[in-house]
Amino acid sequence: MIFFIQRFGGLIGMVAVIAFFAISLPDTFLTVRNWLNIAQQISMLTVVAATMTVVMVMGDFDLSVGSMASLAGVVAASLFLQDWSIAGALAMALMVGLAGGLFNGFIVSVLGVLPFVATLATLTIFSGLAFFISDGRTIFGRDIPEAFGNFARSGPEIGTVAERALVLPNLVIVAFVVVFAVWVVLEQTSYGRRLYAIGGNREASKLAGIKVVQLRLTAFAFTGVGAAFAGLMYASRVASANPTQGDGLMLTAIAAVFLGMTLTRDGQPRVLATLAGVVVLGVLDNGLTQMRVDSYVREILVGAIILAAVGLSAIGKGSLLRGLR
Amino acid sequence: MKKLVVQKVSRRYGTVQALDGVSLTIEAGQVHALMGENGAGKSTLIRLLAGLERPDDGSIGLNGDTLLEADPAVMRQAGLRFIHQELHSIPGLSIAENMHLDHPYPTRLGLVDWKALSHAASQALERLDLAHLNPRATMTDLGLGDQMLVRIAATLISSEGAEPWLYVMDEPTAALTAQEADRLFAVIHELTKQGAGVLYVSHRMPEVMRMADCVTVLRDGHHISSRNLSDTNARTVIEDMTGRDLRHLFPPKSAIDPAAPAVLKVRDLEARPIRRANVDLQAGEILGVAGLAGSGRGELLRALIGAIPVQGGQILLDDKPAENTVAESWANGFAYVPRERRTEGLMLRRSISENIALPHLTDLARASIFLDQNRQRGLADKMGKDVLIKATSVKQQCNELSGGNQQKVLFGRALAGQPKVLLLDEPTRGVDIGAKFELYRLIKEMSDNGLAVIIASSDLPELLGLSHRIAIMRDGELAEITETDGLTEADLLARFYHQSAPQVAA
């Protein structure tokens, strides 16, 4: 019984959440339009969580992704102010993400600082940089090129419902491409498999001749670039940039990876499971909003649900109930 | 025929001469057993062979060429492979992936070629008759024994570098069940049939008698003997291993009044993996707990201190049922010295006094709430004198102490609360002979003062030299209790196996 809950509890929970909303919101929840809406809402989180998975596979994590997302948005917007081209500004912002990620990787892997401490510090640094560059203001309006803002709002039409066009948002397509890329890296290259080996048993990996230091360092680059990427998506979606707009992404992304881990057999992070975790969080947010649950109460509920999912899957693995095995 | 020649190697660590002029020759196609008690120098020799350390003196040669470098890569190139008792496997990955940890994955267009990966793995497994293992299954699904076989098979995956021809196995059966060990023996047989040599490090007589072609015995860093198994027998080998005069190491035993009431009564105790245990213990008595690894030696102590939940039966201390959490057990008069002093025992970076005071903080605090540093130091000073801790002061950090002194800190902690029953798990493991001597005196002194002591140990001379009676664990069951008088190591070993039912994985 405990084994069953531990193995499939997460999946059952997810189905239950969707079923609950489908019954409570019969007219609006299970519609293509609503799901496209959810997909767009979660696209930024998807990118952050997918690239977060890369480091969590090794047993590390990165707290600085939220402020990196803010920083990247601010960097791009400031460069727009300097009349940079869209491509140039975006490339620069992504370079900032890469540099930040490598910096995290250097501190964690080469200097050997715990990821919690190291990325907590860089969280503050990146956030400070974002305020410094933007002077604490939101950059918006005519300063943002129209094409940049339009990108998030448009996308290919995939049909019509009730005489209104259904648009598959570009952001969703981008998110899918990122998930696919991370999936290939983690599941189909020896690079990714080495990362899993490090997460499974770092000492064994080292003894087997795996270059643990280099791999850990580079893995953080994925998370940095992913965070910057998500920051740009966010900036495009709201056609503006301010130094705090990405901050909420970090905790939710880590929560999504943890939720995903409850679905996998060995409790390992896997990127498709992470995607499922993101979807659950998106669905919860969407459904509870539609049911007009107060936003503060919504946070309490979402937190409790994450705790319940992770807690249930810990039963049988954890020590408290070990005697019952 | 390939041949590894170890010639007069010596290695010293600080003041300890771990190896002193040891020579041996290992040939391909043979199982060469390396035997000796704890501290005999087996592990040091393995570290030298692995290229992890350089000998102070002497040489290691392959077919006449000297392998000088202390470099694991050189030893690997020479065809040596090491199978350690602690398995380094990655639980979440598949068998095939685990076998490719130190080989490059086969790839196609830069992506992992899963088919080729499984194929390479299953070919290697087949060479050792392990075709029943599915390379796509995850490592988590395998028992320790099969994991070890997978590690061995992994060495057969062809890669650049010399073909492996010599396997060094360090106590490979230590954590295996009987059937798993049998499968390992079959694989070793297969390896030697294919021309490989095996250096088999163990102190288990029956295994060695069954498989080895020749046996080398080390004792206290010296080479004692190398014999063909056909020319020798178990008795001679055991004499070689234990040859030192042990009469002076152990203090004489005191007699116990047979009419004295029992302090501790254990009735049908069941606490997984302990299946059943019954024993009475009198004040002043020392009870040894013996058995193979995995038989439940240490777990019996853990159940008594409350670290394993009790499922059935009773533990009575002075005829009162003992409560079953660790904190209550300490409060009731149990004290425990765990096996792994660095991970289970000490806060290594804290002072001696904090370590000793740890379980007694409430008693030492003013009004049971506010910490009293002076009382803690006073207690530590007193205990430090009682147990002969050698340190600059009780404020010294524990990681600056030698193994023996660290162990004494744990003894001080255990004895500080004036316990009625002292539980010791491998009390002298990794402790030098001088500290051993002092710990033995201490145990004897405490028991003379009326403390009941239970010692779980893999060190047979220690059990025989200290305890009044020895309880033998088999497969989680306290199978028998025997008087120590007149018992020999060989008798004791025989009893480990006696009626040994097929083992259940612990």
Q: What is the 3-state secondary structure (H, E, C) of B436-465?
A: HHHHHHHHHHHHHCCCEEEEECCCHHHHHH
pLDDT attached to residue A175: 96
**A281 exposed, middle or buried (CB, 10 Å; 0-12, 13-18, 19+)?**
buried
d(Cα B235, Cα B225) in Å, to the nearest integer?
Answer: 13
Q: How many contacts, defined by CB atoms under 8 Å, are there between A and B? A: 57
The C-alpha angle A115, A228, A76, rounded to 5 degrees, equals: 140
**What tokens were used for B391?**
């340190």
What is the per-residue pLDDT for B38? 64
Is residue B84 less than 8 Å (CB to CB) from chain A? no
Residues 231-290 of B with CB under 8 A from A: 272
Q: Is the peptide bond before A115 cis (omega within 30 degrees of 0)?
A: no
Give the separation between CA B276 and CA B95, rounded to whole angstroms: 36
CB interface of B with A, residues 136-155, below 8 Å: 138, 140
Residue B174 has what DSSP assignment? T
CA–CA separation, A186 vs A58, rounded Å?
A: 11
Name the pairing type of β-strands B107-108 and B111-112.
antiparallel
Instruction: Report percent pLDDT > 90 for chain A.
Output: 67
Q: Nearest by CB to B105, which of A193, A205, A208?
A: A193
Which pLDDT score is estimated for B247? 54
Asked if B91 and A266 come within 8 Å (Cβ–Cβ), the reply is yes
Q: Which residue of A has its CA nearest to B81?
A: A208
Q: What is the pTM of this model?
A: 0.73
Give the C-alpha distances (Å, rounded to integers) separating B487 from A25, B282, B447, B483.
Answer: 79, 21, 21, 8
List chain B residues with CB under 8 Å of A184.
111
CA angle B490, B491, B494 (to 5 degrees): 85
What interhelical angle do A115-134 and A65-81 show, nearest 10?
A: 20
Cβ atoms within 10 Å, residue B494: 13
- pLDDT tens digits for chain A (325 residues)? 666 766 677 778 888 888 999 999 988 998 988 999 999 999 999 999 999 999 999 999 999 999 999 999 999 999 999 999 999 999 999 999 999 999 999 999 999 999 999 999 999 999 999 999 999 999 988 888 989 988 988 889 888 877 788 889 999 999 999 999 999 999 999 899 999 999 988 888 887 778 899 999 999 999 999 999 999 999 999 999 999 999 989 999 999 999 998 888 778 899 999 999 999 999 999 999 999 999 899 889 888 988 887 887 776 554 444 443 3
Q: SS3 letters for chain A?
A: CHHHHHHHHHHHHHHHHHHHHHHHCCCCCCCHHHHHHHHHHHHHHHHHHHHHHHHHCCCCCCCCHHHHHHHHHHHHHHHHHCCCCHHHHHHHHHHHHHHHHHHHHHHHHHCCCCHHHHHHHHHHHHHHHHHHHHCCCCEEHHHCCHHHHHHHHCCCEEEEECCEEEECCHHHHHHHHHHHHHHHHHHHCHHHHHHHHHHHCHHHHHHCCCCHHHHHHHHHHHHHHHHHHHHHHHHHHHCEECCCCCCCHHHHHHHHHHHHHCCCCCCCCCHHHHHHHHHHHHHHHHHHHHCCCCHHHHHHHHHHHHHHHHHHHHCCCCCCCHHHC
In angstroms, what separates the C-alpha of A61 from chain B's closest C-alpha? 19
Distance from CA of B73 to the nearest CA of A (A): 10
| A231 burial type by CB count under 10 A (0-12 exposed, 13-18 middle, 19+ buried) | buried
Contacts of A209 in chain B (CB under 8 A): 102
Give the per-residue pLDDT at A321. Answer: 43
pLDDT of B85: 63
pLDDT tens digits for A221-248?
999 999 999 999 999 999 999 999 999 8
Q: Which of A189, A204, A323 sits opposite B90 (nearest CB)?
A: A204
Would an 8 Å CB–CB cutoff place B505 in contact with chain A?
no
Ranges of chain B whose pLDDT falls below 70 = 38-39, 68-69, 85-87, 158-162, 242-248, 430, 432-434, 498-506
Q: Say what the pLDDT of residue B68 is.
A: 66
Cβ of residue B309 closer than 8 Å to a chain A Cβ: yes
Strand-pair partners of B199? B32, B168
Q: Could you report the per-residue pLDDT of B310-348, keeping only the tens digit for each?
A: 888 999 999 988 877 888 888 889 999 998 888 888 888
Residue B311: closest C-alpha in chain A: A323
Nearest-by-Cβ selection for B101 from A189, A197, A199: A197
> B36, B35, B48, B44: which is closest to B17 by C-alpha?
B44
CB-CB neighbors (< 8 A) of B272 in chain A: 323
Contacts of B91 (CB under 8 A, 6+ apart): A200, A201, A266, B138, B139, B140
Contact present, A233 and A171 (Cβ < 8 Å) = yes
Query: Are B111 and A203 in contact (CB < 8 Å)?
Result: no
The residue assigned the tokens 């696919």 is: A180
Place of tokens 């977060």: A52
Judged by CB atoms closer than 8 Å, whether chains meet at A188 and B112 is answered as: yes
Task: Give residue for tokens 């009198």.
Answer: B282
Q: Say yes or no: ipTM exceeds 0.90.
A: no
Name every chain A residue with its beta carbon within 8 A of the beta carbon of B148. Answer: none
Q: Residues with Cβ < 8 Å from B61, sequence gap 6 or more? A: B4, B5, B7, B67
**Cα B424 to Cα B411: distance, rounded to the nearest angstrom:** 9
Classify residue B369 by burial, with Cβ atoms within 10 Å: 0-12, 13-18, 19+. Answer: exposed
Q: Does B369 touch chain A (CB under 8 A)?
A: no
Q: Rounded to whole angstroms, how far apart are CA atoms B421 and B285?
A: 10
- Chain A residues whose beta carbon lies within 8 Å of the beta carbon of residue B88: 201, 203-204, 207-208
B86 in reach of chain A (CB within 8 A): no
Q: Do A266 and B309 touch (CB under 8 A)?
A: no
Q: According to the model, what pLDDT value does residue B471 have?
A: 95
Distance from CA of B446 to the nearest CA of A (A): 34
Report strand pairing: B320-321 vs B334-337: unpaired
* Kind and range of the H or E run holding B403: helix B403-416
Asked if B112's CB is within 8 angstroms of A190's CB, the reply is: yes
Structure-token pair, residue B321: 């049922």
Q: Does the beta carbon of B112 lie under 8 angstroms from any beta carbon of chain A?
A: yes
Q: Is B109 left (phi over 0), alpha (psi -120 to 50) or beta?
A: left
Check if B110 contacts A (Cβ < 8 Å): yes
Cα end-to-end span (Å), chain A: 10
> What residues of chain B lie within 8 A of the CB of A196, using their CB?
90, 92-93, 97
**Residues of chain A with C-beta less than 8 angstroms from the C-beta of B104:** 190
Nearest residue of chain B to residue A187 (CA atoms): B112
Q: What is the pLDDT of residue A269?
A: 92
Report how far residue B446's alpha carbon sits from residue A312's, in angstroms, rounded to the nearest whole number.
Answer: 47
